[in-house]
Structure 1
Amino acid sequence: MTSLAPLPQILMEPIVRNALLEDLGRAGDITSDAIIPADCKATFELNARQGGVVAGLDLVMFAFLLVDPGINIQLRCAEGGKVSASETIAIVNGPARGLLTAERTALNFLCKLSGIATATAALVHAVRGHKAKIICTRKTTPGLRALEKYAVRAGGGANHRFGLDDAVLIKDNHVALAGDIRTAIERARGAVGHMVKIEVEIDTLEQLEMALQAKVDAVLLDNMAVDELSQAVAMVGGRAVTEASGRVTRANVAAIAATGVDLISVGWLTHSAPILDIGLDMPTDRNCNRHLN
C-alpha cells in the first residue's frame, strides 16, 4: 500500500468538535462529574476486540484533547496497521473525567472508520493478482464523506469522485432526460472544461458501443453478469477506463476482477460496513489515583 497521507487538521477538528458538542448537550457529562473526583487521574487502554485494520487514530486524539488538553495518548499501532483480537491500539492517561467524557465520541470514530478499512482490506486481498482497484462511492454518511473515504484508503482501496463537482458521471436518469447516451455526452463535453473527466453508466453492450463511439473517458458497467463484463472489457479494448459496479461481495469480487476491469466500486464499504469492535478498558491492576503523573 502506498503511504497514507493524514487528513488535514482543519478538516477533522470541526467534525470532532460537533460530535463532542452533540454528546455533551447543555450540561456536559453529568455522570462523570458527579462520580469522579476532579483531581482523579486514570490510565486506559484502547483494545481491539477483534482483528482488523485500524483507521481514525487522529480523530481519537482530537476527541480526547479537545475535552482535556491534559490527556496523554501513546499509540501502539500505526494508522492503517493490522491488529489482532485483544491487541492494544493505544494507551491514554490523564484526568479521568475527560477520559470518560471523550470515550464514546472517540470510539464512534475509531470503530466506524476501522470497520470500513477492515472491509476494504478484505476486498483488496481478495482481488490480489488482478489489476482491479477497489474503490468507494458517494454512498456515505452525510457530513462524514471525507472521513469514510479516508478509511477506504487506509484499507488499501481508492476513491471515486468526492462530489458532484469533480467529475461528470452520466447515469441512467441523465440519459433518459437527454434522450440518448450520445446527446448526454455531447452536452456534458460542451459544458465542462478540458480537465474534467466524463464517465457514463452502461447497462447494455449496445449502450457501451455508443459511449465508445463518443470517446468517453470511463464507463461504469452497472450490474452486469461476469460473462457480460468480460465481453464489455474486450469491447473497450483499453479505449476507456472500465468500472464494474453493483452487487459486489467478498464471494464474487475475485471473479469480477478476473474479467479485466480497471475498477470495482462498492457502495456498502461506506454505507453499511460493520464496525470493528474496539473498547476502552482500564487495566486490571489500576484504579483511580489522584497523584498519578
Structure 2
Amino acid sequence: MYTLTTQELEELLREDVPYADLTSELLEIRGKPGRMRYRAREEGVLAGAEVVASLARILGLDPRFVLPAGREILPGKTVLEVEGDAYELHRLWRVGLGVLGFSSGVATGTRKLVLAARKGAPDVPVLATRKALPGTRKLAALAVRAGGGWPHRLGLSESVLVFPQHLPFADDPQPEALVRKLRAIGRDKRILVEVSDVEEAIRYLEAGADGVQFEKVEPEALRHDLPRLKESYPCAVFLAAGGITPETAAAYASTGVDGLVTSWMFTRPPLDFSVEMERA
C-alpha cells in the first residue's frame, strides 16, 4: 500500500535524466568515487529519505546513513549520506532533493495538524484526502504516515463515499433508494455519505448508511448535535471535513467526531534541504 515499485522509482529518475546527464558527461566525472550528503536547512519532520535511499540503490550507489521517517529535524542535520560513482550521484542529486522536500513538507504539515488535534481529543485521527498532486499520491501517503496522520482514501476503488456531485446522475437520489442500491451491489463495503447538516445526516443514517462526513459544518453545531446522533446510531462513523487547519483542528476534534478529514498538509511548501558533494 505504501511502497513505490521499482518501475515507479525508475520513472522518477528517468524524468530528470531521460537520456544522459550532459554536463557530467562532458566533464568526464563517470567512475570517480564520491560522497553526497543531504542536510536540512530548516526545522521540520523528515519523510522521503528511505525513498531516496531506494533510488540510490537502483543507481548502484551505497546509502551509508539514512535517518528514519518521522524524525524531527533541525537546520544542519544530515538526513542521508550516499557514496559511489560521481556520475550517478549527480543523477540522484535533484531527484532526491525533490522527494525529500515534498515529502518532508507534507509530513511537517501533517504533524502540525496531529498535535493541534490532540489538544481537543488525544485519539482523533487526522485523515488526509486524495488532493495530493496526481503522480505523487504514494509519496504523499508515506509522508502523511511519517507525520502521524493516515490516508482517508488512497483511491476511488477502495471505498464507497457518496458526494452531492453523484446525486444528479443517480436513478433515484432519495436516501433510501440510494443506500438500497449501493447495499445490493457492494454488500461487503461500508457506505459513507457527505452531508451538510444534521437533518441530512439523519436521513441517510435512517436509510442504512454506515456513516456520514460533515462538510464545512461548524464545530459548535457538531458539538451540539453529535451526542444525540451517537446515541441513536451507536455503530455509525462520524467524520468532519472542510476548513480543518491547525487553528481549527482542536475545536473539531473536541466535538466527538471519529476523524478529521483534511487536505491542508498538501498546501504546505516543501521543506528546504542542502546538498554537499566531495571526493571519497
TM-score, normalized by length of structure 1? 0.87
Which amino acid is the alignment partner of residue 144 of structure 1? Answer: T
CA distance in 1, matches of 2:260, 2:133: 20
Which residue does the alignment assign to 2:272? 277
| SS of corresponding position for 2:56 | helix
> Once the 2 structures are TM-superposed, how far is the Cα of residue 62 of structure 1 from its aligned partner?
2.3
Give, in whole Å, the separation in 2 of the partners of 1:231 and 1:124: 23
2:86 to 87, 93, 96: 96
**1:246 and 2:239 are equivalent in the alignment:** no
Aligned to 2:142: 150
**Counterpart pick for 2:216 among 223, 226, 235:** 223
**Deviation at residue 58 of structure 1 after TM alignment:** 2.4
Where do residues 122-141 of structure 1 align in structure 2 (5 Å cutoff)?
122-129=112-119, 130=121, 131-141=123-133
The Cα shift of 1:56 comes to: 1.4
Q: What SS does structure 2 have at the residue aligned with 1:200?
A: strand
1:107-126 superposed matches below 5 A: 107-126=97-116
Is the counterpart of residue 29 in structure 1 residue 21 in structure 2?
yes
Note the alpha carbon deviations across 1:199-233, whole angstroms, 9 max, x for none: 01011221011012123212100011111122342
Identity in percent? 30
1:159 and 2:155 aligned = no
Q: Given the alignment of the two structures, is residue 259 of structure 1 paired with residue 249 of structure 2, yes or no?
A: no
For residues 246 and 224 of structure 1, the distance between their equivalents in structure 2, rounded to whole angstroms, comes to 8
Partner of 2:6: 13
Whether contact under 8 Å (2:38, 2:78) holds in the other structure is yes
Letter paired with 1:94 = G
- 1:185 equivalent in structure 2: 179
Structure 1 stretches of 5 or more lacking a match?
Answer: 1-5
In 2, Cα distance between equivalents of 1:205 and 1:38: 65
What is the SS of the residue equivalent to 2:36? strand
Aligned residue type for 1:204: D
Q: Output the aligned Cα RMSD.
A: 1.8
Shift in Å, 1:124: 0.5
- Tell me how far 1:36 sits from its aligned partner: 4.6
CA deviations on 1:235-257 (whole Å, 9 max, x unpaired) are 32134111100011111111111
Q: Matched residues in 2 for 1:111 and 1:185: separation?
A: 43
Return the match for 1:40 from 19, 32, 40. 32
Give how far 1:47 is off: 0.2
The answer on whether the counterparts of 1:175 and 1:181 sit within 8 Å (CA) in structure 2 is no
Runs of 4+ with deviation above 6 angstroms: none
Q: What's the counterpart of residue 50 of structure 1? A: 42
The SS at the match of 2:150 is coil
> Are 1:198 and 2:191 matched, yes or no?
yes
Q: Distance in 1 between matches of 2:196 and 2:5?
A: 38
- 1:82 aligned to 72, 76, 79, which one? 72
Q: Could you tell me how far apart the structure 2 residues matched to 1:43 and 1:138 are? A: 37
Map 1:57-76 → 2, pairs under 5 A: 57-67=49-59, 69=60, 71-76=61-66
Local SS of the residue matching 1:275: coil
User: Is the contact made by 1:12 and 1:59 (CA closer than 8 Å) also made in structure 2?
Assistant: no
Residue 239 to residue 246, structure 1, CA distance change in 2 (3 Å): same
Contact 1:45 1:92 in 2 (8 A): yes
Q: 1:231/1:215 Cα in 2 relative to 1: closer, same or farther (>3 Å)? A: farther
Query: Normalised by the size of structure 2, how large is the TM-score?
Result: 0.91
Single out whichever of 57-66 and 101-110 deviates more from structure 2: 57-66
Q: What amino acid does structure 2 have at the position aligned with 1:249? A: T
Structure 1, residues 134-193: CA drift from partner, whole Å, max 9, x if none? 001121222222221121111111121222221110111223443323322121111112
Aligned to 1:3: none
In the TM superposition, residue 265 of structure 1 has moved relative to its aligned partner by 0.7
